[in-house]
């Protein structure tokens, strides 16, 4: 399959190559919702290792968007994906659990300030 290469000029006159993505390459969520991220992390924290399909259902997302969010969370180091027996299991990392704690403490602080 032919991939298009685009050469761009930046203000510093450097040539930058950007290759167009094909369907087989990893795709990440471009626009994200903090609520969706927290919902996914809390679900993984409570449920342990969860298949991507089940995670999509548990977080009320379609499978394609769930995979994009999982790829993003993996890139951030908040989840790991374990491949075994032809399935992909998603687990939360220590960093992901820490994000939940930070979000919860921030929410409590915000509620105290607003009351």
Residue 36 lies in a domain: yes
pLDDT of residue 14: 45
Domain that holds residue 47: 27-114
Residue 92 lies in a domain: yes
pLDDT one digit per residue (tens) for the chain, 115 residues: 444 444 444 444 444 444 444 443 456 666 788 888 989 999 999 988 999 999 999 999 999 999 999 999 999 999 999 988 888 899 999 999 998 888 877 665 544 554 4
Number of domains in the chain: 1
**Neighbouring residues of 20: CB distance < 8 A, sequence distance ≥ 6:** 3, 4, 5, 6
Residue 77 lies in a domain: yes
CATH code of residue 81: 1.10.10.10
Residue 3 lies in a domain: no
pLDDT of residue 5: 45
């Amino acid at each position: 399959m032919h991939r298009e290469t685009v050469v761009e000029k930046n203000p510093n006159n450097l040539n930058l190559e950007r290759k167009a993505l094909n369907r087989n390459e990893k795709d990440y969520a471009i626009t994200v919702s903090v609520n969706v991220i927290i919902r996914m992390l809390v679900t993984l924290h409570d449920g342990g290792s969860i298949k991507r399909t089940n995670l999509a259902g548990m977080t009320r997302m379609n499978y394609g968007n769930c995979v994009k969010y999982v790829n993003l969370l993996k890139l951030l180091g908040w989840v790991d994906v374990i491949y075994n027996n032809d399935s992909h299991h998603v687990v939360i990392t220590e960093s992901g659990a820490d994000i939940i704690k930070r979000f919860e403490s921030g929410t409590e602080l915000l509620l105290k300030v607003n009351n």
